[in-house]
Copies of this chain bind each other. A is one copy, B any other.
Amino acid sequence: MEAWKTSISTYDRDRIILRGYRVEDLMHRGNFGDVAFLLLRGRMPSPAESRVWNAVLIASSDHGPTPPSTMAARVIASGNRKAAEAAVAGGLLAIGDAHGGAGEEAMRMLQEGMKLISHQGISVGEAGKQIVQRYRIKGRRIPGVGHRVHERDPRTVTLWAMAREEGIAELPITLMQAIADALSVQLGRTLPVNVDGALAAVLLGLEFPPEVGKLAFILGRCAGIAAHLLEELTREAPMRIHVPFTYDGPHPE
């Protein structure tokens, strides 16, 4: 078998090296979020980057027991109480196109919009309008806009204020807002940028590839899922979840 190649980490009898740092030195850093940045990005974050990146993970960390990821983890734990890895993994598997996956899609959309701006020399507002038009022609949903609960997502407001303060992601944030505005005009009602859209803009400003739009959400939500799983195991009985259902299929003769 051909040797695998990695630039992330290695070890020998005495040492574990992550991205050029000894793990002991990283342990003294005191901030797990920073080490996740290092592992994904290949270098340590600046203090400004650390602040914003940790805020992305924290914003993603939990949202009650009702999102499909958290609900799935609790349902799995109600049947399988000895294998915590199964419930956490099963929870993460619910993160996809309809839940938590819009960050990655929004990063690709923002990349497309930023190309329009730099190649065609158009304004950010104009780019927002063109993106909305392009998506609607193809019948594609605009990712990162709208929320079934929040009219104004507190995570977006805070994350973007923080990023602006630190001078991070100014263009992608403005573009993401322009897209939401253009869509709101088209639909005739004000749609907020949701947490997926908010972190998409910020992660692009931190020069992450689009895949990190989903991976950051996964890592953040892993903490919340773990907490709900622990609560399920310590506070609830096995097989406690009963969902009401009606059967509308055929009956035996």
Q: Which residues of A contact B (CB under 8 A)?
A: 1-33, 35-36, 39-40, 42, 50-51, 54-55, 57-59, 61-69, 71-72, 74-76, 78-90, 92-101, 104, 148-152, 154-155, 157-159, 162, 209, 211-212, 214-215, 218-220, 222-224, 226-231, 233-235, 238-239, 241-252
The answer to whether B231 touches A215 (Cβ under 8 A) is: no
Contacts of A39 in B (CB 8 A): 61-62, 223-224, 226-227
Known A86-B85, A233-B211; judge A30-B11 contact (CB<8 A). no
Q: Output the least CB separation between A88 and chain B (Å).
A: 6
Quick one: copies of this chain in the complex? 4
When chains A and B are docked, how far (Å) is the Cα of A90 from the Cα of B71?
12
Instruction: Enumerate chain B residues within 8 angstroms of A19, measured Cβ to Cβ.
Output: 249-250
Q: List 8 A-B contacts (CB under 8 A).
A: A3-B244, A9-B62, A10-B245, A20-B252, A27-B162, A29-B58, A64-B245, A85-B95
Task: With both chains docked as a complex, state the minimum distance between the C-beta of A155 and any C-beta of chain B, in angstroms.
Answer: 6
User: Across the interface, do A154 and B15 meet the contact criterion of CB distance under 8 Å?
Assistant: yes
When C-beta atoms are compared, the residue in chain B nearest to A215 turns out to be B226
Question: What residue in chain B is nearest A208 (Cβ atoms)?
Answer: B230
Q: Given A1-B244, A96-B82, verify A10-B64 contact (CB < 8 Å).
A: yes
What residue in chain B is nearest A62 (Cβ atoms)? B9
| A239 / chain B contacts, CB cutoff of 8 Å | 68, 98-99, 148
Q: How far is the CB of A164 from chain B (nearest CB, A)?
A: 14
**Is B92 in contact with A92, judged by CB distance below 8 angstroms?**
yes
Chain B residues contacting A22 (CB-CB under 8 Å) are 154, 252
Separation of A59 and B65 alpha carbons in the complex (Å): 29
Smallest CB-CB separation from A249: which chain B residue? B7
- Residue of A64, A82, A214 with highest tally of chain B CB at under 10 A: A64
Does the CB pair A158–B28 fall under 8 Å?
A: yes
Residue of B at shortest CB range from A55? Answer: B27
Cβ-defined contact, B214 with A85, below 8 A: yes
Distance of A26 Cα from B10 Cα, bound (Å): 34
